[in-house]
Amino acid sequence: MTDITNLNNAIVEVNKALDEILSKCLNTSKQEPKQKSEQKSEQKSEQKPEQKPEQKPEQKPEQKPEQKIDIRFDLPEVNSIPSKPTVSVFLYDIHEDLQLRSAESRRYDPKNNLLLPGWVNINYNYLITYWHPIQPSSDSSNPDSKPDNQAARVMTGILNALINNRQLSKIPGAYTRVIPPQENLNSLGNFWQALGNRPLLSLLYSITAPVRLLNNKDFVKPISQISASVDQKSSLDSAQINQALSDKLCADLGGTEDVRLALAKVSLTTQPDMDKNGGQENENVILEVSGMTSSTYLQKIKDNVAEWKNNQGAIIEINGTGIIISEENYDQLIEV
């Protein structure tokens, strides 16, 4: 993913994107009443001579939508009333979205041999409220007490703008949603109590946006060559070869009962010598002798194994395959 928000200005960029959406919405909503007012004034001027006695002066509250609506990214003073209609956008919670982890691997920059920085998804939760510039009235005939009061109209416009802008054009990979009350606010009742027991029309809004992590300068050496090889597997397994060599060693030392006792704690293990195995007739192996034996047979065993290696030929044959000892090691063989 490219063009991800930088960690140093992530909150600022998200705030700006939200401010742009709300500004367009509120500018549109405050122009419509003005046009209606102009139409009414034109009709009024045209019909003025005929309807002058019946005309009533327009009520001031109906012109409230024409007032400029302020957008602020904090909460107004608790015990004060704003001088003009205000929409408060309060960022109350930021956290990493653990349920939305990206499975995409970090991209590689072949020019500089570096892994590009990764990213995480961050949730930004907002409380959006409308603050009216006039004290609530006890008179139900007041326009602010009607179903189409200014708070309802402004918040309806905001809601329409938010749900129709699920993605932020300037922040690729971001998405938005209107959410129910969160535990982060404890409860809306306690929240409004902290603001002087003055409940206001509000909505909760969440933005999830990717944030680029810091560049750790992870240098990765590029792959310059790819090779493959196929080794033919021997028809013999190591267990067969080990047992055959043990029997051969016992026979070379005389095959008596004393020899068998001396070899009871001696282990012969082999592994293929890949560097020298080129044909199918013989198999070169690396022999390791370990364990313990009597002092009488220790040197005899070493000499016999060395003779196998110096022979440079097949010392035994298994199923038509000769076994050649290419290397030997008896450092782990001790006397008792």
Instruction: Give DSSP secondary structure letters for 208-240.
Output: EEEEEPP----B-PPP-------PPPPSS-HHH
- Residue 199 in domain: yes
Rounded to the nearest 5°, which phi and psi values hold at 287? -105, 130
- Are 186 and 275 in the same domain? no
Q: How many domains, the chain?
A: 2
Residue in 124, 119, 30 with CA at minimum distance from that of residue 70: 30
- Are 165 and 246 in the same domain? no
- Residue 246 in domain: yes
- Residue 132 in domain: yes
d(CA 108, CA 131): 50
Kindly give the interhelix angle for 295-311 and 238-252, rounded to the nearest 10 degrees.
Answer: 120
Token readout for 277 is 């195995």
Residue in 280, 289, 291, 281 with CA at minimum distance from that of residue 308: 289
- Are 23 and 143 in the same domain? yes
- Are 123 and 263 in the same domain? no
Pairing mode, if any, of strands 202-212 and 266-272? unpaired
Residue in 210, 120, 211 with CA at minimum distance from that of residue 167: 210
- Are 84 and 191 in the same domain? yes
- Are 202 and 309 in the same domain? no
What is the value of pTM for the model shown?
A: 0.50
- Residue 260 in domain: yes
pLDDT (tens place) for every residue of the chain, 336 residues total: 445 566 678 899 999 999 999 988 886 444 444 444 444 444 544 555 555 555 555 544 444 445 688 899 988 777 777 888 889 999 988 998 887 765 566 677 777 777 777 778 899 999 998 888 877 666 666 666 678 888 888 899 999 999 998 888 888 888 899 988 776 665 666 666 666 656 677 889 999 998 877 766 666 677 778 888 776 666 678 888 999 999 999 999 998 999 999 999 999 999 888 777 756 678 888 999 999 999 899 999 999 999 998 988 888 888 888 888 989 998 899 987
Residue 244's domain comprises: 238-335
